Structure 1
C-alpha cells in the first residue's frame, strides 16, 4: 500500500509540474523570450514614468556614427538610482545578462526593445577574422558567394573561423554572415523577414525598410544588419 501511494504521489507531482510548465512557457515561446517579455514590460513602465516626471528619456548618449539598431540604450542604472525600478533585470548586461535594452520610436512612441549581445559578439569575432585575413592577403576578402549586389557570404573556413555559428533570435535558424566590398560584416535577416511576411497580411512597399517588420513583430532589434528592400518578390539586403 505504501509503495502504491508513493507512486501515485509522484505521478501527481509530475502532472502538476507539466501543467505549471505549460502556463509559464506558452507554445512558441522559449524561457529566454518569457524572461525578456517580463523585463521589457518592467523597463517600459519605468521609462514611461521617468519621461512623464522629467520630460526626457533615460538614454545613454551615443554618437552620430552609432548604427540605428545600437543606439538609444536605456540608462538602467539611472532608473534604479532614481527609484523608478527596484532592481535591474537579470537579462540586462548590467546584471550579467546577454541583452542591452534600447528605446525605439524615441520621438513619437518610445518603445523598449532588446539588442542581443550574442549576435553582436559573434559578428565582432567574424569581423576580426576578416580584418586579419585582409591584412595577411593584400586587402583581399574571404568572400564565398555574391548573395546580393556587392554583398557576399563569407568563407569562414578561409577566414580561419569555421566553428563560429549563430542562431537567429527570431527563428532559431542558422544565420549567414554577410560582408560588403570593404569587408564590413553583418548577418543576413532575409529569411526571418520573409517568415514574418508569409505569416502576415503585410504587403511590402518598394521604398520600405523591411527591418521594421522584424522590429514590430518581436522584442528584438535586427542588430548588425543592412537595409532590406522588397525586390523581385523577396527581401534583399542593400547598401544604404
Structure 2
C-alpha cells in the first residue's frame, strides 16, 4: 500500500497539472517575453561577431517584403552553441511567432511576426486569386488613397470587410489591396497613436513604419511604406499626389 501511494501521488499531480495548465497556458501559445528576445538578440550578435558580419538568417527571394525578408535560422545559432533550442513561442517549436531581423545592414535587431496574421493574409490571397481568375481583374471596391483600394468583400464571399488584430494595440486593422493586386494591412491607426504619444524625429519622406519597431517588439508585416503628410500618417504614394 505504501508503494502504491508513492506511485499514485505523482500520477495525480500530473493529471492536475494537465487540468490546471491547458494548451492555452503552454509557452508556445504565449506572447514572447523580453527575456526571450534579449537572449536571441545576444545570440545573433555573437554569431555576427564570430562569422565576420554574416547573419543567421534563412534565404528569401529578393522581392520579399522588407519585414519578412530576414527570418532567423535557429539551427545556425544552435550549431554554434549559442542557443539550446528555439523559444517555445517560435514557429519552428510549435509557437505562433516568427523571429526576424530588421535593419540588417546597420543594426540587426530581433523582432516578431505573428504568423496568425500571415495565415489570414494567405487565406484571403486564395480568395482574391480565384476572383481574378474568374473576372480578369482584382476585387477593387473604393479608392482609399492613391493606388490603394478597399476590397469588395461581398464579391469574395465574406460577411464583412477583412481585418486582422493589431499586435501593437489589439484593435482591428483593415486589409486593403494595391493597384498591383497585392494585399496589405493598413497600420495608420497605430502610427497615428504612436506619432501622438511617442518621441520621434521622423519627417515627411521618411518611412515611419520604423516608429512602430522603435517602441514595440513586433515588425509591421504585410505593410506598405508610410510617411508623414500634413502632420498625419499617410501612404508614401500620396506624396506624389
- Scaled to the shorter chain, the TM-score interval is 0.7 to 0.9
Q: Which residue of 1 aligns with 2:140?
A: 143
Alignment deviations for residues 167-191 of structure 1 (CA, whole Å, 9 cap, x no partner): 1111101110111123211010000
Q: Which residue of 2 aligns with 1:233?
A: 231
Q: Normalization by structure 2: what TM-score?
A: 0.79
Q: Within 1, Cα distance between the matches of 2:72 and 2:181?
A: 30
Where does structure 2 lack aligned partners over 5 or more consecutive residues? 1-28
Pairing partner for 1:45 from 42, 46, 49: 42
Contact 2:102 2:109 in 1 (8 A): yes
Contact 1:36 1:91 in 2 (8 A): no
Show the 5 A alignment for 1:96-115. 96-115=94-113
1:49 Cα deviation after fit: 1.6
1:200–1:237 CA distance, 2 compared to 1 (3 A): same
1:138–1:66 CA distance, 2 compared to 1 (3 A): closer
1:193 Cα deviation after fit: 0.6
Pairing partner for 1:156 from 134, 153, 158: 153
Contact 1:151 1:179 in 2 (8 A): yes
Q: Which residue of 2 aligns with 1:54?
A: 51
Q: Which residue of 2 aligns with 1:208?
A: 206
Where does structure 1 lack aligned partners over 5 or more consecutive residues? 1-30
Q: Within 1, Cα distance between the matches of 2:199 and 2:44?
A: 32
1:129–1:98 CA distance, 2 compared to 1 (3 A): same
Q: Which residue of 1 aligns with 2:17?
A: none
Q: Within 2, Cα distance between the matches of 1:32 and 1:148?
A: 36
Q: Which residue of 1 aligns with 2:65?
A: 67
Q: Within 2, Cα distance between the matches of 1:62 and 1:219?
A: 22
1:239 Cα deviation after fit: 4.4
Pairing partner for 1:219 from 205, 217, 220: 217
Contact 2:226 2:235 in 1 (8 A): yes
CA RMSD of aligned residues (A): 2.0
Alignment deviations for residues 181-224 of structure 1 (CA, whole Å, 9 cap, x no partner): 23211010000111111102335411111111111111111111
Q: Normalization by structure 1: what TM-score?
A: 0.80
1:138–1:105 CA distance, 2 compared to 1 (3 A): closer
Pairing partner for 1:175 from 161, 173, 176: 173
Alignment deviations for residues 138-172 of structure 1 (CA, whole Å, 9 cap, x no partner): 32x32232211120111322212336541111110
Q: Does 1:77 align with 2:54?
A: no
